[in-house]
Chains A and B, each alone.
Chain A
Amino acid sequence: MTARPWLKIVAVLVGLFLTVPTLVVIPMSFSSAKTFRFPPGGWSLEWYERLFTSPEWTTAIVNSLQVGVITAVLATVLGTAAAIGVTTLGERAKGLAVGFLLSPIIIPNILIALVIFTTFLRIGLTGSLFGIALAHTALALPFVVIAVTARLQGMDPALRKAGGSLGAPPFAVFRKITLPLAMPGVLSGAVLAFISSFDEVVISLFLQSPTAITLPVQMFNSVTVQIDPTISAASSLMVLVVSVPILLAQVVGARRGSRGK
């Protein structure tokens, strides 16, 4: 069955709508103007220079990296353990546990921000990078759980039984069979957890303090509080840091998929 021409045209237009607007940030970042005029009148590296030298931006970048790494580590450890733990549950309990673990993905971020903010305010965790990382961990957990679960589902349950029948005690089966097989899922979960934290803005906005400003918060403030074109360089950086790993994963995935056939 072939696609009608109009269908192809609509699909191309939707594809352009999805991708092209975002690309604006790249030429913008090389603009020499102090405004957001597009297309830029002249070119310069001024905003990149500012992004990597001015203390408010560099601090924000370092903060974001710290929060992202802490989040990735916590979420990956908790999420991987949980995803493996879930496989031992019965059908009903499994559904409940997975539903609970995935709930942060469906609850609007503003709500999570609201509840975490009020609680952290009471226990004095606002304004600290660690507090932000903890909140991000709850948010990133579903990504790790999904990635690892998907990997485990593709795994033949007989492998575990085979390990047992060959004399490996349960922990050895876990360490030598389950974990290595789940590894690709664990790694992609970790990357996704890092990215979801690195890009998160709403919760970080609520929990921010002058000493705890992440890159997205600094970007947000740079357009709402003052007009600072450095955001265009930061945006380009974000596109690079966030999109490139995903794109690579896609390409590798597609290649692996086609090789499998």
Chain B
Amino acid sequence: MAADTAAPPKRTLSPSGRRRVGGLLLLLPALVALTLFFVLPLLSIIVDSVTDPEPGLGNYASLFTDGYTLRVLGRTLLVALVVTVAGVLLAYPYAYMMTLAGPSVRAVMVTVVLVPFWTSMLARNFAWMVLMQDGGVVQGVFGLVGLGDVTLLGTTTAVTISMTQVLLPFMVLPMFSVMQQIDRRLTLAGQSLGASRFSSFRKVYFPLSLPGVAAGASLVFVLALGFYVTPALLGSPQSSMIAQVISVRTRDLLDFGGGGAMGVFMLVVTLAVLAASRRLTGPGGAAGAAHAIVGGNER
């Protein structure tokens, strides 16, 4: 468009070229903003992690040698894993049911998934605090099933339960978007060919739904790794997860090198998990989840 006025007619760009320039101009501000507020800071953190307090890989070495950090790392990975597995077990039947339900029931089911997703994170964690406090409702339920008066608040168990709930939508939506595309007649075909209902499900439907499971599981695992609010509110310093340690290191101790190294390590794990799941599911997986979350029932 700028070329239009500045250059003599002969040298104007072709219409498609002009469109391209216009498109780049539109794209540029967002790219610059993201670079300024995300990419450059990230690079500076990476630099910090190998220079602060002294050049070298000391920060990374202590990540794997310091007993406390190792325990936190181990705990974080374990919680993320449990949350992921529990999430798969809960989300799979729910997402499957969504594909079987009629349009109106399905709309309700989508809403039930989306509303908690968009419901204030703090409100949800506060609700869990209330429910899991000593003498609270959850403890009562545990007592009823014969588990006795277990203390929940401040434990990893409380953190895990709450995180499972908070992250469940991220599991359900990618699963649903994959399952929705599976032709229902395939399982019928399996049955017509001699497979029992269960066997047809196991050999035909389940393998086809795996990309959705992988996408949901990797997303939940990655998000669980970086969870801060839930462990901070429902856990205790004794059950810290890595995000809390990063927060203490940087915010309170201003140890940008140490905190940065942890952050970079987390980023590497995140990208590795996402890359692995992308190989399994194709590019649609996580992006599909994001679309489902924003677009709701648009598809």
Which residues of A are interface residues toward B (Cβ below 8 A)? 1-3, 7-8, 10-11, 14-15, 17-19, 21-25, 28, 36-38, 74, 77-79, 81-82, 84-89, 95, 97-98, 100-119, 122, 134-135, 137-138, 141-143, 145-147, 150, 164, 170-171, 174, 188-189, 192, 195, 199, 201-202, 205-206, 216, 219-220, 223-224, 231-232, 234-236, 238-239, 242-243, 246-247, 249-250, 253-254, 257-258
Contact = CB atoms under 8 A, between A and B. Distances in A.
A235 B228 CA distance: 18
A82 B29 contact: yes
B26 A108 contact: no
Secondary structure of the B contact surface, majority rule: helix
A239 to B, nearest CB: 5
B253 interface: no
Contact of A18 (B20, B133, B169): B169
Contacts of A81: 26-27, 29-30
A193 to B, nearest CB: 11
Interface stretch (B56-64, B66-74, B89-97, B142-150): B89-97
A224 B232 CA distance: 8
Contacts of B25: 85
Interface in B234-261: 243, 246-247, 250-251, 256, 259-260
20 contacts: A10-B93, A11-B98, A14-B168, A81-B27, A111-B263, A111-B270, A113-B247, A115-B38, A115-B42, A116-B41, A119-B37, A137-B37, A141-B30, A145-B30, A146-B295, A201-B121, A223-B126, A239-B119, A246-B118, A250-B115
Contacts of B34: 100-101, 103-104, 138, 141
Interface string B19-33: 110111111111101
B27 A106 contact: no
A118 B48 contact: yes
Given A3-B100, A88-B22, 5 more contacts: A82-B27, A85-B26, A104-B34, A220-B232, A246-B296
**Which of A14, A138, A150, A192 has the most CB atoms of chain B within a 10 A radius of its CB?**
A14
B122 A224 contact: no
A135 B251 CA distance: 17
A114 B261 CA distance: 11
Contacts of B225: 108
B247 A206 contact: yes
Contact of B297 (A11, A109, A253): A253
A1 B107 CA distance: 19
Secondary structure of the A contact surface, majority rule: helix
B129 A36 contact: yes
Given A81-B26, A110-B243, A115 B263 contact: yes
B46 to A, nearest CB: 9
A38 B274 contact: no
A254 B297 contact: yes
B222 to A, nearest CB: 7
Given A107-B270, A111-B226, A14 B38 contact: no
Top-3 shortest CB links A-B: A108-B226, A88-B23, A85-B26
B109 A224 contact: no
B138 to A, nearest CB: 9
Contacts of A88: 19-20, 22-24
Nearest to A6: B93
A82 B19 contact: no
A104 B41 CA distance: 13
Contact of B290 (A87, A102, A164): A102
Contacts of A242: 118-120, 123
B229 A202 contact: yes
B260 to A, nearest CB: 7
B189 interface: no
B267 A220 contact: no
Interface in B145-184: 165, 168-169, 184
Contacts of A138: 33-34, 37-38
Interface in B272-291: 274, 283, 286-287, 290-291
A219 B228 contact: no
